[in-house]
Amino acid sequence: MDQNTMAPETLCSHLETRLLPADNYALATPIYQSVKFAVEDFDELKRIFRNERTGYFYSRHGNPTVAQLENLLAQLQGQEAGLATSTGIAALAGTLLSLLKSGDRLVYFIESYRPSRVFAEKILRKMGVQLTRLSIDDKAGIQAALALPDTKAVMFESMTNPQVRAPDIDFICTHAKQHKVLTILDHTFAGFQKLKVENCDVVIHSLTKFASGHGDVMGGMILTSQSLRHELEENLILLGATLDPHAAYLILRGMKTYHLRRRAQCENALAIAQWLEEHPKIASVSYPGLPSHPQHAHFREAYEDFGSMLLFSLQNKDYSIEDIVARGQLFKLAASLGSTESLITPALFFFAGDLSAEERVKVGIDATSIRLSIGIENVADLIRDLNQLLDRVN
Ligand code: PLP
């Protein structure tokens, strides 16, 4: 229909589409803020559905802005393909729900992000999935659990939350491969370091953290092979935790400065860890960049950086950290991590409430443990703020 002949209310819903000429393109990723994509030939639409050609139909199935983010992160991590989700936990949950069925066993660890453990224990257990919860130090236990005939997957983190420790990724992947067990690595804390993540079947990121970097958008990513992506995609489309194109755009924008931010955060974290370690009121500091960290040599050899997260505890084990955690002038008591601003979190309350007393000792969290996420502020200002907090401790 000729647009000049349309009534105003028709024209407003059927305006002329302005396509860019083939030799002319936007330098910033365009946001395809559209749920629907029209196709001019039904046969071509069927080919899109059969994955015989690229094309878009409905944004829950795929969106060009989201696809750019998937491609970028797959390239950065040496993986064949990416599948974006609305949050990091949606990436983990979608992967586990897709790959596991009743009777299968999942191996997972006490040194991990608490909601990942709770997801397994609440949702997967209800589905009839069997669970084996271990410590990353329990090599004999890991070997035995991976060899069990019903074990289907193992889920672990490359830098554990909140202790900042490293599992033996090679050991887990080698034994898992031997027994055809799928390896699911949550790589969120480590950022986009390559390590040997290509040895893992699935690499998960919460993009809410270092990728977006500004604490203003949530997202998740599953990085894997083309064939596994295809299998997961079929289920994730039905689970519906799709990443919005505007969120994908913000994360892509965040990625432009990711490496600069990460470098600044890591430098600040090392300086703060060193300062805390010298402080008379501090009992322990867990930061892989410190020679006192039990895995310092391993991190130095195998990792590209030591990260921007650290855990410390007080000498005075009777002191209530509730009196200081909300008193930071720069260090705010808030959820999340990896953004430009520094954050402070009481570790027992947030990360270890589901662990037994014995498990808390194993993961190194007590009532005075505090997690810090270090931002890109001036490090002297950050230390001044920590100093005023520690001055309050007796
Ligand atoms: N994995 C780790 C290690 C995390 O720290 C988090 C969030 O803190 C998540 C996954 C979940 O990410 P999101 O909050 O984007 O769902």
In this structure, are 167 and 240 located in the same domain? yes
The pLDDT assigned to 196 comes to 76
> Is the separation of the CB atoms in 39 and 45 below 8 Å?
yes
Q: What pLDDT shows up at residue 135?
A: 97
- For 344, which DSSP code? E
Nearest to residue 181, comparing CAs of 233, 142, 235?
142
Q: Which atom of ligand 1 is nearest to the CA of 207?
A: 15
The verdict on the CB of residue 82 being under 6 Å from ligand 1 is no
Contact 196, 84 (CB under 8 A): no
Model confidence, pTM: 0.96
Low-confidence ranges of the chain (pLDDT < 50): none
What tens digit of pLDDT does each residue of 37-57 get?
999 999 999 999 898 999 999
> Is 312 within the bounds of a domain?
yes
What is the side-by-side order of every strand in the sheet holding 182-186? 81-85, 220-224, 202-206, 182-186, 151-157, 105-109, 130-134
Amino acid in the structure at residue 76: L
Does the CB atom of residue 188 touch ligand 1 within 6 A? yes
Residue 223 shares a structural domain with residue 265: no
Q: What is the pLDDT of residue 51?
A: 87
- Is 173 contained in some domain? yes
Instruction: State the distance from the centre of ligand 1 to the C-alpha of 253, rounded, in angstroms.
Output: 20
Q: Where are the alpha helices (DSSP H) in 281-356?
A: 296-302, 347-351
From the list 329, 378, 321, the residue with the least C-alpha distance to 350 is 321
Q: Are residues 65 and 194 in the same domain?
A: yes
The residue range of the domain holding 94 is: 42-255
Tell me how far CA of residue 266 lies from CA of 191, 259, 310, 360, in angstroms. 11, 11, 10, 27
For position 262, which CATH number holds? 3.90.1150.10
Interacting residues of 153 by C-beta distance below 8 A, sequence separation 6+: 96, 99, 100, 104, 106, 107, 181, 182, 183, 184
